[in-house]
Structure 1
Amino acid sequence: MPRAQRVHFFGAVYHVIARGNNQEDIFKGQSDKRYYLNLLQKYKKKYPYSLYAYVLMDNHVHLLISVMEDPLSKIMQGVQQSYTQYFNNRYSHLGHIFQQRYKAILCNNDSYLITLMRYIHQNPVRAGISNGLDYHWSSHKAYLRGDDNLVETDFVFNMLSSDREVALQQYLEIMSNGDVQKSELVDGYITYETDQKPNHNTTIMSNITISQLLDTVAQETGIEQDRILSEKGKRAIVYARNLFIYSAIKKGVATKTELASFLGISLPSVIKGYNLIQQHQK
């Protein structure tokens, strides 16, 4: 049976898990992990994506990735094949080092994204590694320093608060909440890929749909719906789009990740638009 393609749309967020073949180690030393991180950086430039969290354990990898124009499969193919070549050459190994196809779990909920980040950063704790959260090969340290050029910490911080110090405190509280339970995680992964986006005409937490809200914002601002959805640059249109984003989130019509896919923009752009209107409202 041929493999089904994975879901792909601009702004889709995935929890990626790549394990060693037969649970064998894929990293034999720190230099191997450093090389893998360099590959993530290399392919981030080639196929732009956003990385929100990672951890490199000896026999597996966890990544929290948001894709843009290029599908996840292209990114992971480049990273995994390049690392396999490196590993085989260095250790005179033949064949696959990764366990068949990586798993990719689609994340379409803001709170679940935070849960996944917590789960990923707590992997060393669950493994009984002595330095736990301070494990060197995890993106947790990037959130503490805020100066990492591989991980987009601003996106998660902005989800928590527009005030950086408050966001950092909230992040630390989240990370101190203990281990993520299996019941909090999605079991399995999405295996269908089309260019179709999720259906946003269903009511989520509100009594109006996202399409109805778009119509309301269009009437209030005098900007046509198509222009709110597609045009860029003009201040009035940017304001209308940001107002739509802010209203959808505040009214519980859609999450930030759902808005990113609906509008065809990145998650950081959604967060930025929301924050701009929120600051204007104060």
Structure 2
Amino acid sequence: MQRGNARQRIFWDDRDRNRFIELLSESARRFDVAIFCFVLMGNHVHLVAQTHRPNLSRWMHWLTVAYTVFFSRRHRASGHLFQGRYKGFLVQEGDYLLGLGRYLHLNPVRGVSLGRGTPSERRKRLRAFRWSSYLGYAGLKKPYPFVEEEMVLGELGGARKDERVRYRRFVEEGLVREVENPFEAVRWQAVLGNETFVQKLRDRLKGLHRHRREIPSLRRIGRGVRTEEVLEKVAKKFRVQRERMQRKGERGLKARNVAMWMIWESGTKSLREIGELFGGLDYAAVAQRIRRTRLAHSARATSQLRKEMLNVET
């Protein structure tokens, strides 16, 4: 995902959106990148892609710079258009990739304002939204030639001639019932997949610093810090009983929030699992507490906590 700087709009009209899609297509050819899914929102972009070479950073840099040059010239704007580095993570193929695509394709009809209305009304708006790869997948318009749909459509099984109808039903099922948010299951803020996939990734990444530069969150993998160890260290530092720190309904306890933050940093638990560890908190509440706690600490204090709790020098 790539956001606009200070969450500002990065697309002002359809000409902007069309130009970004043109550049996305060109970048896929130029950098040998397979694009599986894209969604253009007002102030951010979601991309699901596979690089065949270790050039993820170069690809994203070229894409964002090329669009920024176009945007700045056209709108006579200055300064940064995008907010720093993109946020990326690795995704296991199969159900994980399929579920992520559905969740992202539903983005244009999700949220307080976008998610209003009946399922039928939201379906109508989803099918009218032109700025994603969904309509091509669903067979409602000609697919974008640079979007590689075969692998995703093949995950649903069945006859090839009906695959787009099956995909449309699969995605639009999310309009009538709540579908699982795949971001809840992300580990190390970098990996979406099952235990076997994660372990294989850990084994492959040992000593391969190149991949950790491509996705900085991968640096968390392999630290070897156990959740139990983090809990004990936080309880000791803040002189609080561990049982109290994890107890349901406990509020305003700094140690509790720091423990959630450090466990998330360690990568040993997903947001959902952290919530369960602390009395059944909702994953969104966990994410909010982690964010607030992180913002309340200076860079120096954060570095010291990581050193004490995670044995990491930053």
Structure 1 length-normalised TM: 0.58
Partner of 2:147: 151
Give a deviation string over 1:121-164, Cα, whole Å, max 9, x none. 10111152764322110101111146420211112112222621
1:117 to 93, 98, 101: 101
Query: Which sections of structure 1, spanning at least 5 residues, go unmatched?
Result: 1-16, 192-196, 202-282
Partner of 1:78: 62
Query: Within 5 Å, which residues of 2 pair with 1:101-116?
Result: 101-116=85-100
1:132 maps onto 2:116 in alignment: no
Distance 1:85 1:73, change over 3 A: same
| Deviation (angstroms), 1:200 | 7.2
1:189 maps onto 2:185 in alignment: no
| Deviation (angstroms), 1:116 | 0.8
2:52 to 50, 53, 68: 68
| Deviation (angstroms), 1:198 | 2.3
| Deviation (angstroms), 1:69 | 1.6
Partner of 1:22: 6
Partner of 1:48: 32
Give a deviation string over 1:8-38, Cα, whole Å, max 9, x none. xxxxxxxxx1111111100000000100001
> Per the alignment, in what secondary structure is the counterpart of residue 176 of structure 1?
helix
Q: In 1, are the aligned partners of 2:20 and 2:67 still within 8 Å (CA)?
A: yes
Q: In 1, are the aligned partners of 2:99 and 2:182 still within 8 Å (CA)?
A: no
1:161 maps onto 2:175 in alignment: no
**Structure 1 residues 68-77 or 182-191, which shifts more?**
182-191
1:198 to 194, 198, 201: 201
Give a deviation string over 1:29-83, Cα, whole Å, max 9, x none. 0000100001111111111111111110111100110111242111101000111
2:169 to 148, 168, 173: 173
> Per the alignment, in what secondary structure is the counterpart of residue 53 of structure 1?
strand
Q: In 1, are the aligned partners of 2:95 and 2:155 still within 8 Å (CA)?
A: no
Q: Which amino acid aligns with 2:156?
A: L
The CA distance in 2 between the partners of 1:46 and 1:183, in whole Å, is 30
Which protein has the larger Cα radius of gyration, Structure 1 or Structure 2? 2
The CA distance in 1 between the partners of 2:97 and 2:148, in whole Å, is 13
Structural RMSD (CA): 2.4
Q: In 1, are the aligned partners of 2:135 and 2:143 still within 8 Å (CA)?
A: no
